[in-house]
Structure 1
Amino acid sequence: MRRISLLYAAAPDIRLLSVIVANSAPMIGILGFQTSTAALLLFYWLELGVLAIWGLIRALFAGTVPEVNFDQEVISTSTLKRYSRWRENHLTIPGTEIGIYYGTIPACICFVPLLTAVWLGFGGFVAGPVIVATDTTETPLWVITGALTVFIFEGGQTMINYFYTGGYQNTNALMPVKGVFWKGFVLSLVGLFIFIFAREFAEGKTASIETAASTAIVSSVLLCKFVIDLTGYYHSARDQSLTERI
């Protein structure tokens, strides 16, 4: 029986610890150091945009062409063959094996409005109401610095773990953007529901809708984000085969 590398055996625990720390730090900052909740959600909004940008870049250079099923009774065999050849053609970056398959371009075009919609939804239903409620006039420096750090980190991960090590070869266009989309969609939907309930609560009262929704939005987003990140960790750990750990 082959021995499992201690490095790979410990890796999931390290990733799990990073998820716990990353989601606990904002709560500690809010409770212990009076971190601005508006600034925190603004950072999350920028972070979501950064993840969407790098997700689209990974999707564009995915090495596996998305599967497309057609009714062969409607489309002739010759047409299917021509379309298959077109999908499997690609533009290669000189000096590398990395390229853009023609078949991934339509998928990426569809991903752009979907990711833009959830990004704007997060800004409108999550970050926006909290910023209005706190009457924030200045953006803390750590928000911009943090967003730039995430951008550089995600770029480095893309260059090293995706392109250099060949991770793109077993990736289709949907895989890099799926997690970003669902995270933005769920958080935006939670913010929308809370905003609707807050409208009913604030009706006829002196409190504004944003003020009524602010605390619930922040609490719900922190909880939902932790659950989403934890689910993503266990999903990736489950998909990682035993042979990859040996």
Structure 2
Amino acid sequence: MTNNTSVQTRILVVDDQAVMRRGFCSMLRLADHPFAIEEAADGIQALQLFEQLRPDLVLLDVGLPEVSGIEVARRIHSLEPLAKILMVAELEEDFLQAFRVDARGCLLKSVEAQELLNAVGLVLCGYLVFGKAIVRLIFEHAYLPEEPSKPGKLAISLTKREQEILGLIAQEYTNSEIAKHLYISPRTVDSHRARLMQKLGTRNTAGLVRIAVQQGLLQEPAAALRAYYGT
């Protein structure tokens, strides 16, 4: 988060449960850098406030009634494709839905204040924030038995460097960390990541890892999981 206190970071908190909504607002007010916080109790109000305020970040409940959080995220991105949305959910299983609408992260509603503040800061700085739960779900989803209608493996050829970077991405290394690990520049890593997404036909990291596992492009997926979980 920026240290420039003359311009407040605007956050829209969306949750139909007043207790949860106010709880998130209270957590956000603990930040060293003051946020300008607005609240919405449903999807329609959230969309109206987003269009009026264009907040820097939307903290959005997945399980909104009537107009769901997933639908709200879709409509927000139709208004502002680069909008930063951090979703909150009751269950880890909802995280996959958040990925499909290009949310920048997803947290459980049981999140503690410091974890929430850390996640908000990271998303505002351009990072994805999903943690280990979503990585596990991606791998589990990728290893489901194939259905008869499921397409076969794609004709994808990766260079040795692309395979190295793909493996590190699967372990949730940032571009900066990958650059240090491989002794290359972050810009080079970013170029490789963009090329990988183009080759695999996806727009985000979740899709990149999921397709890579499904297509057998991660040479040692089990080892990657062990490294990620520290086991």
TM bracket, shorter-chain basis: under 0.3
Question: Bigger radius of gyration, 1 or 2?
Answer: 1
Which structure has more RCO (C-alpha within 8 Å, separation ≥ 6)?
1
- Which one has the bigger helix percentage? 1
TM-score (norm 1): 0.21
- Which one has the bigger strand percentage? 2
